[in-house]
Structure 1
Amino acid sequence: MQEPETASDTQEPETASDTKDLRVAKIVVTGSRIQNPGYQAPTPVTAVGAQELLTTTPSTVADALRQLPSLTGQSALGGRSYCCAAGTASAGAYLELRQLGPNRTLVLLNSNRLAPSISSGVVDANVLPELLLQRVDVVTGGASAAYGSDAVAGVVNYITDTEFEGLRANLQYGISGYSDDEQIKAGIAGGTSVLDGRGHIIFSLEHYEAAGIPSLLDRPQSAQMWVLAGAGTLASPYYDVADTRFYTGTTGGLIVSSNGLPFNFGSAPLAGTQFLPGGAYGPTNLGTILPPGAPNAVGGDGYSPSGAMQPLGETETNRLYGRFGYDFSPTLHGYVQLTGALNSAQNQYGWPAFSGNSGTLLEMFSGNPFMPAGLQSTMTTNGYTSFFMTRSNREGGASYNTTDTTYYDISGGLSGELVGDWTWDAYLGYGETKQEGAEHNAVNVARLLAAADAVDNGSGSTVCRVTLTSPGSIYDGCVPINLFGFGAPSQAALDYITGTNENSTTSAQQVLALNFQGTLFELPAGPVSVATGVEWRNRELSGTSNLVATSQIDPATIRGRSMNVTLCPTPTACRYGGWIQGNVGEQEQVSDTVQELYFETIAPITTNLELNGALRYTDYSNSGEVSTWKVGVSYEPISDIRFRASRSRDIRAPNLFELFASPSTGFAAFTVNPFTGNQIPTIPTITAGNPDLQPEIGDTSTVGAVFRPSFLPGLSASIDYYNIELTDGIVTARTVPRVLTDCNNGDATACAQIVGDPSVDNITSVSLLQTNASVQNRSGVDFDVSYTRPVGNADVTFRLLAGYIDEADSVSGGVTTELVGLSVPGMPEWRGLLSATYDQGPFSLTVQERYIGSMLKVSPAGGGVFRDPTVPEIFYTNLSAAYAFEAQGGNMQLYATVNNLFDQEPPLMPTTLSGVGYPTIPGLYDLNGRYFTVGIRAEW
């Protein structure tokens, strides 16, 4: 493991050469616009070399960064989505500082902004080059005054080797101890001087793919179908139960009501009847029903989606990076740069289920020719005209999401000298992302209702009723479907009711910046340096969708009801179209512009006391004007120790999606209506953008010290306290339960979000808008210690990165939620990463220990009493060995890594729904188990 490379915390940067070659003299000080040799910013910076990152986590740099205590969030691992959500698979690795969300961490490439990778405005770290990466700087403090919006929690800056000479290649293969999630990584990079040494060109081509974990059944823990049961009270605490399933449905179909009263299992003679293969039917065994509310049971004939759910999805990334720099003269340098990537992701999330969980029940009518004769006789005898049934549509295959992303960012710049030590640089960039999402084997609700309502046409043929009552309608091609028993539906009928739910989003960004830097005047202790500049950005967003209508279906066309069926007063209130899940609307083209002016200065008060200040004025075309600032101080009483402190005002402006997102639909499952006390299986939700959003405000304070004792060469240590107060946070201020509760308590604004009459359980939909209503607080301490010393003819290096969270809470809707030390959102007080490397000539060995502290369990809804309230601490051990040798005229290195050496299973933390997702916190803990990687690196 190499020494961390940084221009701020651990070593002095190289000074410029006497030739004033701007290309060679480039200094990178992350966190400041002033790039002076010897300057050390007062804001904490954690710097990690590329080799150090990839030694023990060879999959991707993003995966390695997520091991750092400050970056351990729950964003998608390596660009792969976790089980199990409809819509689109996550196709990116989004870095998240302080668990404040990826959109509050700014990701840069060589200190410049990149075009966002998705509509939420963040950058996918998987598009950034790895083979030419020198180091990654992580600024763990606000930096909006230096870089603008989004740097509330901090900055992650990828620094590439723009002067690389030679050829570099890498090839590796990995596989889990369960013989799945195979990973292949390959790449080649090169660099050379051209045009008599005045130009320099570098490039890299890289490929990475991961096969994922096929299903929840492929891990012992998730295969046991754990669920969280109990009421969370002292009388009935929460507890974990295995071997569970949904008792409200079966594979072949289950009648859950008699004569239109849903979920009324006790009403004989129909309710509780299940349909079996070959037209048979009989009573169902519900198993041992677990309280409270959620449709879980131990044993019985219910169904589990586990076999069709991937705990870790598939991904593939192909990226290109190239840069050409040219010295027009000794004092004028220019460059052009291209960053591009083609990413794809896939995740399977279960069989389509008409179960109430997904917003769909099926109303079946008397007279259906597919209905077993005995059951039809019972309906006729009892005067029943219809019943509701649930069903798992396993015959049609599992539903799965795919996302294909095309990304490119082209930039160019010039830099030159003015008078004295004044320099200037200009930067122009354009980037675009097109993300195409699809939900495959999705069920079209309106077509399902049309096909399920089968009748005899009077000539002995079974047809869809709608083709007789509404000829010439959009349902003329309807194929009647037999849903009574597993294997009953025809392929033609399955093809009719299913399709691909597609959407495409295109986002673009243009950037133009002009910067100046130099000495303003001299003080007795040294020059007062300043940096100033202007920046202009334009953002655009548009999208397409093949969304089918989610409005209420005309009852004159289709009579079957589909959703929100509990005590539905009229059939029309329960009749909706659309896809079962993942209804994303058409996105009209929207845009905004940003104009910025900034100023930063460094003033040496004495030879060992330095002040830093920065101010940025920003004008958003949609969100108005805002100012950000930073003040900092650095004090070095002796050469062994340096104290630093900073205070900053930072912002995150609402992105275009938050401002102007077109309406999309979803569902809230199993919601207790406070008006009646009844539990409603599904409530449709409608979300959309809010053009009245204002920028979020973050106030950040840091205080710390860097210790490099002269009496112990090789030791470097830092400790920093941070405090972040985020106000006006953009959040969906109310959940569906909260909207209903507030309305019941007389809140008129909450009642305005409800369509229907909640006093009689007739809730057609609930509107969920984002507002500036959140307050977030974070405070804690970061530790960074590294020590290198010779032992015999070898070098031994230790590095410890640790983080302690003292305070973390969220305030929304007037409710304060404590977060630190709790399993929701998965925020232990302590995290740590300790590495030790033994390097002797051609052989090196690295052992890394990752620590995640214990937590107290809380239910997904928050709070609750548990029989076993503690999530245990866990240690993950990674082991890596490498052997270097010369061959084919180059330097080679064979390497092997074992991650999770002792095959630690993650702590058990199931949800309240059986078989839905891995029973832990996937973004925090390892799902793969022991994982092996071997590879070879080469450089000429």
Structure 2
Amino acid sequence: MRFGGVASRLALASACWGVLGAAAAAQSTGQAPSTDQSQDDVAIVVTGTRIPRPDLSAGSPIVSITQATIEEHGALELEDFLNTLPQVSPDFSRTTNNPGDGTAHVNLRSLGAGRSLVLLNGRRLASPDTGTAIDLNSIPEAILARVDVVTGGASAVYGSDALAGVVNFITRRDFQGVDFGWQSDIYGAGDGRVNDEHIALGTSAMHGRAHLLVYVDNLKRDPVLQGDRTFTRVVIGDDNTNGTLFPFGSAAVPQGMIDVDGDPADALIFDPPGNLRPFQDPADFYNFAPDNYLQTPLSRLSAGAFGNIDIGAHAEAFFELMYANPRVDSRLAPVPLSTFIDVPIDAPFFTAQARQILSADFDPDADGIAHFRIRRRLSEADPRIDSHEREYWRGVAGFDGHLADWDWQFSYSYDRNHTDERVENNASHSRLLQGVMVDPAGNCLDPSNGCVAVNIFGEGQMSSAAVDFIRIASVSNFTTTRQQVATASITGAPINLPAGALHIALGGEWRRVESNFNPDPAFFTGDVLGYEALKPVHGAFEVREIFGEVLAPVLTHAPFAEELNLEAGARFTQHSTAGDSWTWKYGMQWRPISDLRVRAMMQRAVRAPNLAELDTQTTVGLGVLDPSIDFCAASNDPAGAGLANVCIAQGMNSSAIGVYDPSHPYFYDLVAGGNPNLRPEIADTFTAGLDWQSHGPVVAHASLDYSHIRLRDAIESFDPGFALEECAVAASAGSAPCQLVTRDPSGAVISIRSIPINFAVAVVESLDVDVGVEAPAPRWASFGQDAELSVDVRASHYLQNASALSPSEPLFDCTGLFACGSYDLQGPVTPATTAVASFSYRVRPFEMLLRWRWIEGVENVETAAAAFYGQPPPVLAIPHIGAINYVDLAFQYDISAYARLRGGVDNVFEQAPPLMASEQVQANTDPSRYDVFGRRFFMALDFRFE
């Protein structure tokens, strides 16, 4: 395919780039996608089914975006474009600094990235870690043809993980020629540049019987610090009581704070002379924002080869080889310290005034050793850097063939991910505790390891020698995952019914996944300050499946039934750990007239537990139990509440009922790890919709889809207090929460297991609308040439987006709220309605595009939560966030038949992000949902010879 149009001087490219570059430098601060799909003259396979069809009809809602549409808006990273789709809840992306693991995700219907199945050419990809979410950095963007997004379950067709839907990336197949391009992005503040260069070469041989496509893509993204933007430079907070905003931050302050009881109002802080004074809330909090990344840096090299060769007249062999090497860094403020310490009161760190307070308040046994919790920011050290470098290899080999009335396919894929996470500029917990135990002369009581005195009592008091002594310069965690998948299937139409042929698809699949996460010994032992101890994961599982689909025509060319088809499918799965499960689907497609199609589908989908949930190594720590929440305590009357049998089943003697009644908190064993007894999550999905299309000089389409997803047995881990609370609600010794608790004969809690269990529920109900028109431009706008105008509008509206961590709890609906979300079941911002509209004007060789993105306003969750729990409404500084509008402009110019210039500006009017204060995700807002950078300029030059 040629770009088309008239020839022009190539100097236009540099001239236009110069204009946009100057505009970018002058700034002081910081679409609806096309529904066109390429199709062959014969039946094709649509995402969401394995049965080839003579058109692009599908039983489930499907959105198809061509690579041309993605290029039009200058999206170099797939997640940036996918996150603008109304069906997608923004997830890990370029703004994900903390928490973050260097990956980029897609999250359909806000049910979590691990519940959205990602495919490449209809085949499953491998997760880079012990979970199930796929890193979009591994997708070969240089050779994409289109992206299909199917919402609603699809486990009967593709297996586990397709709870919320499927995202299928489809590559070009028969491209012949050379395709190379360059693109550069920059923000209006002159920073955050992203550069990408790619080349793809396609050729055929053996008189067209063999084809080879190779590609290389290199991308580099520069960082932006939160300190580089006024909006994100200072952490802003509010206390939800008096409606005021204030500078906020961390209680781990450079001066050092003695945390008496967890309440800042009772804390003490070391002033510059070294004396102790009351902590000032919020003035004394530490502003950690400036050191953090607002945009994380990324370097990514990807390369690969795709090929196929005919074997005789009725079969072909094919292969896919892929390599990707993304590296993403996160950056955090210097190490925060929050730990209990013992320190001699006569150590040279303290003034006389400080010694007096320590002796009076923190040395109850008068042994000269003060014991207290200290919070301290080790500001004498450098900011922490967390680097994730990943190597991803993928190989696919298989055969396609035709035999009599049947088409058959066999494929085998092998994926390997290896991630090296390197964390720099950390500090050792054990060495810090060693370094504060000194005599009056400042000598370590334990001189091993070259100990030097570590003075953390006052800002800037640590010497360079002390910094070096406690520094952990670099630690590394390694993750390796391997996935093997073998799939065989046949499709055919062996039976002719009165209304047409009965189509059948049958097949089987085998899959093995293994993963090993090996934390650095310093992480495993919990010696790295600011991080919890990391537990190894070593595990594997195998899956064996058989599946089938049928598409049966019932009526054709009948009154009010131009076409009526029924379809059904089922899949039986044997999971080596999670057991057996069935998934299924049934539905219909009805065309009362040729331009109108009505469809409905009912599906059962599952997500099997991942290796992190199954096989994380068990560790035992200490928990502190508040007796007031223990339902077995006499003061809570377990007998009167009908809970005595539960207490006895957990290990308590019946004679202790009404006797056990502790008056003070006490320690118990907190057991954390995986749970090999997990079952698959289950989702029942109903979708219904209609599509209308018109043809002629004016081409129009419209669709309306309804979707209802009910998820049960969702896998979540709960804190110990919640386990006790839910056990009391369940009032059954056999319930999952009650089985997490073990007691001694006296009734005291011995241990509580904080492990993942099948317990949570969610309901997501939505409406999707898509309307588009393409028509010749009026004569006054065509300049004497053939010109086209098009508009496409997509919108999604949540009727319900609710969840509960327990089936015994009422569902809490997050629709229209911010700062809402139960673990990973909902996003932090859940607008009821989002929409994206694109408008284009084409008069060859020029095309102009305008995109409008709209996010409906949201209310603060605190107001809804107060009403939900029957509490007085809070006085909020930010009770709601208004609707947000973004306008983007782009253009394309065909310089010649082989060269194209592209450019544009996102967020033309520099819409500022909304302030979320203490309810923020990061950077005072939710940067995955709202633009935090201001205008983005991009320019690209593409060459294609074929």
TM range (shorter): 0.7 to 0.9
Q: How does 1:164-563 map to 2 (within 5 A)?
A: 164-215=175-226, 217-230=227-240, 236=241, 239-246=243-250, 248=251, 250-256=253-259, 272-276=268-272, 280-284=273-277, 286-287=279-280, 289=281, 297=282, 299=283, 301-354=284-337, 356=338, 360-372=339-351, 375-376=354-355, 385-386=369-370, 388=372, 389-419=374-404, 421-455=405-439, 462-467=442-447, 475-499=448-472, 500-548=474-522
Name whichever of 476-485 and 926-935 sits farther off: 476-485
Q: Deviations over 1:890-931 (max 9, x none)?
A: 622222221111111222112269xx8312222221122221
Q: 1:655 aligns with which of 577, 585, 610?
A: 610
Q: 1:850 aligns with which of 835, 853, 859?
A: 853
| Correspondence 1:610 to 2:583 | no
Q: What is aligned with 1:699? A: 684
Q: Deviations over 1:691-732 (max 9, x none)?
A: 111111111111111101347731011111111111111112
| Correspondence 1:133 to 2:139 | no
| Correspondence 1:774 to 2:778 | no
- In the alignment, the residues of structure 1 paired with residue 222 and residue 937 of structure 2 have an alpha-carbon distance, to the nearest angstrom, of 14
Look up the equivalent residue of 2:479 and give its one-letter code: T
Name whichever of 654-663 and 495-504 sits farther off: 495-504
Q: How does 1:879-898 map to 2 (within 5 A)?
A: 879-886=889-896, 891-898=898-905
User: Is the 8 Å Cα contact of residues 58 and 933 (structure 1) preserved in structure 2?
Assistant: no
Name whichever of 714-723 and 396-405 sits farther off: 396-405
Look up the equivalent residue of 1:492 and give its one-letter code: A
User: Is the 8 Å Cα contact of residues 830 and 853 (structure 1) preserved in structure 2?
Assistant: yes
Q: How does 1:576-595 map to 2 (within 5 A)?
A: 579-588=529-538, 590-595=539-544
Name whichever of 853-862 and 444-453 sits farther off: 853-862
- In the alignment, the residues of structure 1 paired with residue 664 and residue 886 of structure 2 have an alpha-carbon distance, to the nearest angstrom, of 42
> How large is the RMSD of aligned CA atoms in angstroms?
3.4
Q: What is aligned with 1:31? A: 48
Using a 3 Å threshold, how does the CA distance of structure 1 residues 381 and 624 change in structure 2: closer, same or farther?
A: closer
- In the alignment, the residues of structure 1 paired with residue 209 and residue 880 of structure 2 have an alpha-carbon distance, to the nearest angstrom, of 63
User: Is the 8 Å Cα contact of residues 310 and 347 (structure 1) preserved in structure 2?
Assistant: yes
**Shift of residue 660, structure 1, vs aligned partner:** 0.8
Look up the equivalent residue of 1:369 and give its one-letter code: P
- In the alignment, the residues of structure 1 paired with residue 445 and residue 741 of structure 2 have an alpha-carbon distance, to the nearest angstrom, of 33
Where do 5+ consecutive residues of structure 2 fail to align? 1-30, 557-562, 636-661, 821-827, 867-872
User: Is the 8 Å Cα contact of residues 54 and 64 (structure 1) preserved in structure 2?
Assistant: no
- In the alignment, the residues of structure 2 paired with residue 900 and residue 671 of structure 1 have an alpha-carbon distance, to the nearest angstrom, of 51
Q: How does 1:860-879 map to 2 (within 5 A)?
A: 862-863=865-866, 865-867=874-876, 868-879=878-889
- In the alignment, the residues of structure 1 paired with residue 874 and residue 264 of structure 2 have an alpha-carbon distance, to the nearest angstrom, of 30
- In the alignment, the residues of structure 2 paired with residue 528 and residue 379 of structure 1 have an alpha-carbon distance, to the nearest angstrom, of 85
User: Is the 8 Å Cα contact of residues 863 and 874 (structure 2) preserved in structure 1?
Assistant: no
- In the alignment, the residues of structure 1 paired with residue 174 and residue 865 of structure 2 have an alpha-carbon distance, to the nearest angstrom, of 52
**Shift of residue 610, structure 1, vs aligned partner:** 0.9
Q: What is aligned with 1:292? A: none
**Shift of residue 754, structure 1, vs aligned partner:** 7.4
Name whichever of 137-146 and 765-774 sits farther off: 765-774
Q: What is aligned with 1:20? A: none
Q: What is aligned with 2:26? A: none
| Correspondence 1:796 to 2:789 | yes
Q: What is aligned with 2:815? A: 820
**Shift of residue 28, structure 1, vs aligned partner:** 3.2
- In the alignment, the residues of structure 2 paired with residue 453 and residue 619 of structure 1 have an alpha-carbon distance, to the nearest angstrom, of 58
- In the alignment, the residues of structure 2 paired with residue 189 and residue 671 of structure 1 have an alpha-carbon distance, to the nearest angstrom, of 63
User: Is the 8 Å Cα contact of residues 183 and 195 (structure 2) preserved in structure 1?
Assistant: yes
SS at match of 1:63: helix
SS at match of 2:433: helix
- In the alignment, the residues of structure 1 paired with residue 802 and residue 490 of structure 2 have an alpha-carbon distance, to the nearest angstrom, of 40
- In the alignment, the residues of structure 2 paired with residue 766 and residue 933 of structure 1 have an alpha-carbon distance, to the nearest angstrom, of 54
Q: 1:97 aligns with which of 108, 119, 127?
A: 108
Using a 3 Å threshold, how does the CA distance of structure 1 residues 599 and 581 change in structure 2: closer, same or farther?
A: same
| Correspondence 1:108 to 2:119 | yes
**Shift of residue 523, structure 1, vs aligned partner:** 0.7
User: Is the 8 Å Cα contact of residues 320 and 340 (structure 1) preserved in structure 2?
Assistant: yes
Q: Deviations over 1:438-469 (max 9, x none)?
A: 3322222122111121225xxx6x432234xx
**Shift of residue 794, structure 1, vs aligned partner:** 1.3
**Shift of residue 505, structure 1, vs aligned partner:** 1.3
- In the alignment, the residues of structure 1 paired with residue 536 and residue 593 of structure 2 have an alpha-carbon distance, to the nearest angstrom, of 62
User: Is the 8 Å Cα contact of residues 582 and 666 (structure 1) preserved in structure 2?
Assistant: no
Q: What is aligned with 1:906? A: 913
- In the alignment, the residues of structure 2 paired with residue 640 and residue 854 of structure 1 have an alpha-carbon distance, to the nearest angstrom, of 36
User: Is the 8 Å Cα contact of residues 693 and 701 (structure 2) preserved in structure 1?
Assistant: yes
User: Is the 8 Å Cα contact of residues 274 and 350 (structure 2) preserved in structure 1?
Assistant: no
- In the alignment, the residues of structure 2 paired with residue 679 and residue 211 of structure 1 have an alpha-carbon distance, to the nearest angstrom, of 53
Look up the equivalent residue of 1:348 and give its one-letter code: R
User: Is the 8 Å Cα contact of residues 97 and 105 (structure 1) preserved in structure 2?
Assistant: yes
Q: Deviations over 1:782-807 (max 9, x none)?
A: 11122111113211111111101111
Using a 3 Å threshold, how does the CA distance of structure 1 residues 96 and 671 change in structure 2: closer, same or farther?
A: farther
- In the alignment, the residues of structure 2 paired with residue 592 and residue 862 of structure 1 have an alpha-carbon distance, to the nearest angstrom, of 41
Q: How does 1:731-810 map to 2 (within 5 A)?
A: 731-732=716-717, 734-739=718-723, 741=725, 767-791=753-777, 792=782, 793-810=786-803
Using a 3 Å threshold, how does the CA distance of structure 1 residues 497 and 859 change in structure 2: closer, same or farther?
A: farther
**Shift of residue 860, structure 1, vs aligned partner:** 11
Q: 2:92 aligns with which of 76, 98, 103?
A: 76
SS at match of 1:326: strand
SS at match of 2:232: helix
- In the alignment, the residues of structure 2 paired with residue 802 and residue 670 of structure 1 have an alpha-carbon distance, to the nearest angstrom, of 48
Q: Deviations over 1:215-251 (max 9, x none)?
A: 2x32222224211213xxxxx46x35132345x5542
- In the alignment, the residues of structure 1 paired with residue 862 and residue 49 of structure 2 have an alpha-carbon distance, to the nearest angstrom, of 42
- In the alignment, the residues of structure 2 paired with residue 752 and residue 160 of structure 1 have an alpha-carbon distance, to the nearest angstrom, of 49
- In the alignment, the residues of structure 1 paired with residue 466 and residue 865 of structure 2 have an alpha-carbon distance, to the nearest angstrom, of 43
- In the alignment, the residues of structure 2 paired with residue 908 and residue 547 of structure 1 have an alpha-carbon distance, to the nearest angstrom, of 40
User: Is the 8 Å Cα contact of residues 600 and 688 (structure 2) preserved in structure 1?
Assistant: yes
**Scaled by the length of structure 1, what TM-score is found?**
0.83
Q: 1:725 aligns with which of 710, 716, 722?
A: 710
Q: Deviations over 1:104-162 (max 9, x none)?
A: 11111111112222221222122111121111111112111111111111111111111
- In the alignment, the residues of structure 1 paired with residue 294 and residue 926 of structure 2 have an alpha-carbon distance, to the nearest angstrom, of 11
- In the alignment, the residues of structure 1 paired with residue 134 and residue 375 of structure 2 have an alpha-carbon distance, to the nearest angstrom, of 41
Look up the equivalent residue of 1:584 and give its one-letter code: L
- In the alignment, the residues of structure 2 paired with residue 69 and residue 132 of structure 1 have an alpha-carbon distance, to the nearest angstrom, of 25
**Scaled by the length of structure 2, what TM-score is found?**
0.83
Q: How many residues align?
A: 844
Sequence identity of aligned pairs in percent? 27
Look up the equivalent residue of 1:115 and give its one-letter code: A
- In the alignment, the residues of structure 2 paired with residue 549 and residue 530 of structure 1 have an alpha-carbon distance, to the nearest angstrom, of 53
**Shift of residue 820, structure 1, vs aligned partner:** 1.2
- In the alignment, the residues of structure 2 paired with residue 227 and residue 92 of structure 1 have an alpha-carbon distance, to the nearest angstrom, of 29
Q: Deviations over 1:724-750 (max 9, x none)?
A: 111111112x33552465578899876
**Shift of residue 37, structure 1, vs aligned partner:** 2.5
**Shift of residue 582, structure 1, vs aligned partner:** 4.2
User: Is the 8 Å Cα contact of residues 201 and 323 (structure 1) preserved in structure 2?
Assistant: yes
SS at match of 1:725: strand
